Structure 1
Amino acid sequence: MNTPSSSHSSPPDLLSVVPPITFCQVCGKDGHGKHFGAITCRACAAFFRRFGLQNNFKPCKKGAKCGPPKNGWFNCKSCRLRICKEIGMTSDNFQYDRDSFTFKNATTCTKLQKRIPPSMGSFLGRPNLIMYCAPDPGSIDENSKYTIDVQFLIDRALHIMEKGSETPIYAPNSLEKLALGLQQIRGPPAKKVKMLSKIGQEEIFALWEDDMLKVAKWFTYFDEFQRLPSKLQLDMLKGVWNVFGRLERLASTAIARQQNICGHSVVMSTVHDDHVMCDIKNVEVDLSWCSRYTFEQLKFFDSQDHEKQLDLIVQAILDLKPTDVELSYMLCQLCLHQVGKKYQGEILEVTDRFQDVLSDNLHDYYTNRQNLTKYSLRVANMMKINNTIEQCIYRDKVKSDLFRVFDVFYVKCSHPDLFLNA
């Protein structure tokens, strides 16, 4: 075997291995690779890609003599960019127009969209569901609908408020007087309870009447409310009667469950001195007197699990175990907040003033009656229950708006503001 002569061998310096650069030539940290003509880390490469063409930095305060970075950190962006250019980083390899949202591609998409004919929904500006299922607003004849006259109910409520409380009651403050009034409107404890298997026109009208007159009677125990003009009292009554009934029924249901009178998914209420309850899972709801749709069909507009929501709120009330004073405060806060948000203006000023008075009364009740100095947790739990009910009210308002769009009911009320939630 012939060995190669020395004349054909490569020079020693060409065979020597050049050690690779493993550190960033800009900041000295671990390098990632070659970026824009130099070995850099990802941070310095991103810095140069962003600022390589646009040098909008303020001049170096030390006259471009900041020196090398300390532990890889630069205090001066201008000097960092200067070092990038000194080691040979160049913007020649910058790539542009790679994003799908660039002007060029956006123009192409715009041209393509013009070639595609618009759908009926986008052309008319209405969703397909409303366009094909809901009637045209101009075709709805309000005169063809039956009118439910509730003027007699409003007159009875006004008479109750003008008459005042049935018996003079002395209490240290307005909140505790309202608590005594709450006991009066609830009546004696339930001895016999009627189970409703069907809810129709008669039951709904009785429930409306009982809620309206009950809250009117309860407000007669509120001295500050009694000093308001009659028109202002009526406007506030219209805005709170339905809200009051929600929490009052839930509280009655919680008491009934605590006494083992009713179980889960069952709601209890008092209607004309009669204690009634119904199972929301099995009750039959007849809407033939007011709608062309059945109750099951109207569930299409509502995806909420009412049974689960009911149990959550009732359980929260059971865990809290509010006294009559605390429940009165919860009722006032919920009602006053809703009616103030609904009407604004003068009524909002009145409700804010009432809430301040009742908050002071609640503080006095905790500190002087209950000897509690730290009661913030109880108030927070009370407001949590009220906030959950307010969310339910908002969902019902959205559902009512959908009912109006689809013209679900063929009846109307002589006083529509009675059923407009805040």
Structure 2
Amino acid sequence: MNEVFSLINSKKLIQLIDLAEKEIVLIAPGITGEVSAALVSAAKIVGKENITVILDKDTNAVRYGYGEIEATETLVKNNIKVRSQDNIRIGIIITDLDRYIFNPTPQIIEAEPEDFRIPNAIRISEYEAHKLLNKINPPSSLFEQEDSAEIGKTEITNEVVKKAKEDLERKPAIKPDLARKMLVTSSAFQIVDSHLEGTKIERRTFRLNASDLGITDPEIRNRISASYKILDNVEFETLKEIDNIYQNICELYLIKVKKNDTVILYENRKRFDKAIESLKEVIKDSKEKLIKEISNELEKSKELIIPLIMNNLKNQSDIKLERLVLPEPLTEKTLWNYLKRKIDLRFPKAEQLLKEIKLKIRITNVSDQLINNEDFRSEIEKTFDQDFDEIVRTQSALGIKEEKLNINFDRINE
């Protein structure tokens, strides 16, 4: 005798789909890529017209961990009709062999169940399944069945999938396995990951090839290269100021508690944000000045490297040199102008160097996992000279509060 209570997860769905011979009806908030692949394969046996799929087109279903937008896209691309029912949170799987109503798992909270002793589904009778099918695919009109159906009245098209993917790109879903670790607490402090990158532009180098070095021997041309420090020993006071402001902000508000963990007291958060806004203003106001300063230094650097390359080029025959400057005659000036044009193309522009300067700040609440880490608790207590439980006020939440701030010069005026 078949048991009434059962377990339905993605693995079980795939098994049921693989065994189907005549019909498949699947209703759920979302599905995984493996389930969509099984449906595509099953369509070759049962026929696409005998497969009914109804999903939630709302991207929050993906964010809650009910499925993947790519799985829906796979079905649509393979011409398996997918209908939409907004905010549906029940699951139904009906084939010619089995019939279940089940509770889909929001995987940002917990992983799909694996233990069959903990059921999440009820097996229904053929009669009950028939009643459901009459509401899902009413037999009254083949051409208007979705209009008279109780659920899934609209179709998920390529355009719907495209819009959903764009929305998920703007507001990405957290991977379920990661999200489950982030049942976070509202705490007295937050974790900060902060980096200011690209301010050390004096470390940039310019690659010198064999021709620049005057090497004509074909045996070693491809084996040798060198580098030239473009802005060696050049200090830009404005960049130094930006770097100092950033370091001062970090020292004032951020606290190192262990190897790679930095925290900020929540009471300092507003002041920290205000300081970052001030730094943004410094960056914005400095852009034009920096472009001018860096451009001047780049020109000086070119003036130093051109004579070296020019002297090395003179090891070549006049015929080769004449070809370089054509249609002009070969003179010191024309050779210089030729090299200047080439160096201009190969040297970075000031704007390019500024694009590499980025301020990245990521702030997250302290996760339960980290709060239960004894090493972390101990470090916090040492740092603040206070009992951990007095510092932290835990409050369970769904998901993680995450804030990102990215600053770079090419977008500073947006």
Which structure carries more helix by proportion? 1
Higher gyration radius (CA): 1
Query: Do Structure 1 and Structure 2 share a fold, with TM-score over 0.5?
Result: no
**TM-score range with shorter-chain normalisation?**
under 0.3
Which structure carries more strand by proportion? 2
TM-score by length of 1: 0.19
